[in-house]
Amino acid sequence: MTSAPVQEGVIDLLVASMTWEQKLAQLQIAFRPRLEDAADLVRSGIGAVFWPRSAASTNELQRIAREETPHGIPLLVGLDVVHGQRTTFPVPLAQAASFDPATAETDARVSAHEAASGGVNWTFSPMIDVSRDPRWGRVVEGFGEDAYVNAVFGASKVRGYQGESLRDRDSILACAKHFVAYGQAEGGRDYNTVDVSMQRLRNVYLEPFKATVDAGVATVMAAFNTVSGRPAHANHLLLTSILKGEFGFNGVVVGDADGVVNLLDHGIAEDLPDALLQSFAAGLDVEMGGNVLSDDGRLRLSPGDVPLERVDDAVRRVLNLKLALGLFDDPYREADHEVTTPSPASRRATLMAAEKGLVLLKNESVLPLGPAPKRVLLVGPYAESTDHLGAWIQSFAEPTGSLADAIGEECPEWSLTVREGTGFFGGQSGHIADAVADAADFDAVVVAVGEPSALTGEASSRSDLRLPGAQEELIRAVAATGAAVAIVMFNGRPLVTSGWIGAVPAILEAWHSGLEGPRAVARALSGAVNPGGRLPMTFPRSSSQVPIYYDHENTGRPATVSGSLDGAAVDVALMGPGNTDDHYTSKYKDLDLGPQFPFGHGLSYTSFEYGDLSLTHSRITMEDLRAGQSIEVTIDVTNTGPCKGDEVTMLFIRDLVASLAQPVRRLRGFTRSSLQPGETITLSFELGWNDLGFWDNEGLYIVEPGAFEIHVGGGLDDTRVFNLHLRP
């Protein structure tokens, strides 16, 4: 986001010639107004609008802004293009499951191209809220429970949306959201209180935002929540000291929808003017909701309420973005060239993304079913549902087909029988019995279950993480027939599977995977595609077990499965089923230790083996590390199985002794590689100063000498370990 100095001079002149009213009008985006109202708002000088749904309507609003307002300042035109405009990609959580950041970059490139053609120049994406509580519906919008994964994917999305230069016709402004710690809402209930220590705020929640700022993100959205008592919208420490000061963010901080008004309910502001004043003073630049102007068009803030320099700074930030986008030169789009349907290339891109996000959770010799002729029964509410686009689906997105349609196209040799068996909600035991009565007569039964996307996303927290309705009953009924069963789950958050997982041999996690999601699943069932995704969030055994996440602290009394590892203090999240009778340990007495599936879990139709791990140094001094020396970690991985497949290799560190309790593992690198049978590749990772330290409660980044374990391998429970000594 750069603009030539001469142009910055133009901005100064413009700001100097604007009235107080004209300045404040630039600092708001009206929240989804009707088109006639939007035109009036633009005439009154508003700086930004939500996308009015076509290039032609956008052009008309831009024309009004250019020709009917005193300074002719063009508009920012915003929209939540979260995982697609016309071509819907998998939900972000499913993209994270690919462990391939190029997937997210491609989504953002395609989205930017399609959205920009219609006049959108600003998307409210990526969402990079680290999410450790699957009850929170918004986990679907982000990249899961790990800070590093959110950082890497968030930066990729920013690069994809913003392209090489914001002046390019198919670049749009990205918006990193929600700043900050929104994912730690108490009880996983949306909009709820967040109380977080400084060390966790910085080590976990701020890291992805720092990464997107470093990647040049143009805008950042304030979160709805409080952070340790102070709502983010009115939080000077967060918005000004940390984001704009420490991180050097020079773009625009936008409020969330009515987030400023919500300060009244938070009990922080007396009235709207007070709320606005506190927000702008804290560092907010643009209010979302259109509350700066009152209904009768009068301003709610007078000169002197907020320092003029602060308002000028906010206006300058907004105008700089408009300049960087080239809107002063040409804010119009050729309406004839608006992209309204997916192209063959964008379809291929989303198919590849959907395939990469599939996670094989369990497989006891059932999958793949193979392309050869066979009789297959497809049951479950997702057999014929077309609810695959997921949360933040655009009403104008290209609709998708069902799994039954996709199997028909992708597996022409199969003889397919389709029955719903049960809907998403409610009982229907009679239907279930009828649907599965002859299940054992089929060569295989695919049960397509899940949670409708309406149960995911904003304001969609759930207290019960099991499959809704009678779906568990359907699974158990099919399993009881002795048929060869494969479960396919379509969902937007980790679900609890303990009520049926023991009864079924195979589970494929398909998420809400977008326009080509059903086709990707059909291809994985037949074996045309080998699933290689991994879980970006832990799947708990029970809803009462959350939050449960891999990078937890050990506690002073970690629980271990009886008899294992001589009672050594190991990471309980890595253990298999079982519990311990060691009474005074951290656990639930009525639940096996550890999650159902840990972060990073995912199987394959082939197998992989790792060679020895080697490091360029097993010892390094603090001085060398600080001076920029890094440690190179290398490892060989071989495809030892029968078919081509993708392996995700992860590097975790563990700081064994530190002044603050450290996570039992911390991801600092990952890579996804495609390997032919018998093929070996050598992978390498770099570790440096930024990987081995942590933030303390005073807000300082510190690296402490001592011993570290470096774990590299295919997942948490499958790593080679090397000891590294950092010397004083």
Interface contacts to ligand BGC, rule CB under 6 A: 80, 124, 177, 256-257, 458
Q: 144 or 255, CB closer to ligand BGC?
A: 255
CA 470, 476, 477, 478 torsion-angle sign: positive
> Is 256 designated active site?
yes
Nearer to ligand BGC by Cβ, of 224 and 414: the residue is 224
Using the minimum distance from each CB to ligand BGC, give the nearer residue, 161 or 708. Answer: 161
Give residue number: closest CB to ligand BGC.
Answer: 124
Amino acid at site 686? E
In the complex, least distance from residue 61 CB atom to ligand BGC, rounded to whole angstroms: 18
- Strand 706-715, strand 718-727: pairing: antiparallel
Burial (Cβ within 10 Å: 0-12, 13-18, ≥19) of residue 708:
buried
Q: Quick one: tokens of 464?
A: 């019960």
| CA gap 583, 589 in Å, rounded | 9
Nearest to 604 by CA among 508, 539, 526: 508
Task: CB nearer to ligand BGC: give 3 or 291.
Answer: 291
Residue 90: cis peptide before it, omega within 30 degrees of 0: no
CA-CA-CA-CA torsion sign (505, 468, 463, 92): positive
Smallest separation (angstroms) from ligand BGC to the CB of 421: 36
190, 256, 387, 571: the catalytic one is 256
Is the Cβ of residue 79 or residue 477 nearer to ligand BGC in the bound state?
A: 79
What minimum distance in Å lies between the beta carbon of 405 and ligand BGC? 31
> Which residue type occupies 448?
A
**Residue in 88, 83, 140 with CA at minimum distance from that of residue 518:** 88
Minimum CB separation from ligand BGC for residue 79, in Å?
Answer: 8
Task: Give the nearer residue to ligand BGC in terms of CB position, either 127 or 361.
Answer: 127
Lookup: tokens for 500: 């049926």
Least distance from ligand BGC to the Cβ atom of residue 124, Å: 3
Residues 300 and 292: beta-carbon distance below 8 Å: yes
Nearer to ligand BGC, 254 or 349 (CB): 254
> Smallest Cα–Cα separation from 284: which of 218, 344, 233?
233
Handedness of CA 20, 21, 26, 29 (dihedral sign): positive
**From the CB of 75, what's the least distance to ligand BGC, in Å?**
16
Nearest distance, CB of residue 223 and ligand BGC, angstroms: 8
Sign of torsion over alpha carbons 372, 373, 379, 385: positive
DSSP state string for 226-259: EETTEEGGG-HIIIIIIIIIIS---SEEE--TTT
How far apart are CB 720 and ligand BGC at their closest, in Å?
41
Handedness of CA 449, 453, 456, 461 (dihedral sign): negative
List residues bridging with 30 in a β-sheet: 49
DSSP states of 344-370: HHHHHHHHHHHHHH-EEEEESS-----
**Min. distance of Cβ 262 from ligand BGC in angstroms?**
10
Going by C-beta distance under 8 Å and a sequence separation of 6 or more, which residues neighbour residue 176?
Answer: 126, 128, 154, 158, 208, 209, 212, 213, 217, 219, 220, 221
Cβ-based nearer residue to ligand BGC, 177 or 356: 177
**C-beta closer to ligand BGC: residue 240 or 262:** 262
Q: How many CB atoms lie within 10 A of CB 692?
A: 23
Q: Tell me the C-alpha distance between 170 and 116, whole Å.
A: 5
CB-based contact 83:92 (threshold 8 Å): yes
**Which residue, 380 or 492, has its beta carbon nearer to ligand BGC?**
492
Helix and strand numbers (H, E) in the chain are: 20, 26
Q: What is d(CA 186, CA 193) in angstroms, rounded to the nearest whole number?
A: 6
* CB nearer ligand BGC, residue 124 or residue 610: 124
The residue behind tokens 């309420």 is 305
Residue 4 beta carbon to ligand BGC: minimum distance, rounded to whole angstroms? 31
Q: In sequence order, what are the residues at sequence separation of 6 or more whose Cβ sits closer than 8 angstroms to the Cβ of residue 580? A: 559, 560, 561, 562, 587, 593
Region for residue 482 given its phi and psi (left: phi exceeds 0; alpha: psi -120 to 50; beta: otherwise): left
CB 490 within 8 A of CB 388: yes
Residue 375 beta carbon to ligand BGC: minimum distance, rounded to whole angstroms: 46
Can you state the angle between helices 403-410 and 517-526, rounded to 10 degrees? 50
Instruction: Tell me the closest approach of the beta carbon of residue 225 to ligand BGC, in angstroms.
Output: 11
Nearer to ligand BGC, 275 or 361 (CB): 275
| 393 in Cβ contact with 453 (< 8 Å) | yes
Question: Which amino acid makes up residue 446?
Answer: V
Encoded tokens for 17? 């010639």
Hey, which residues are catalytic here? 256
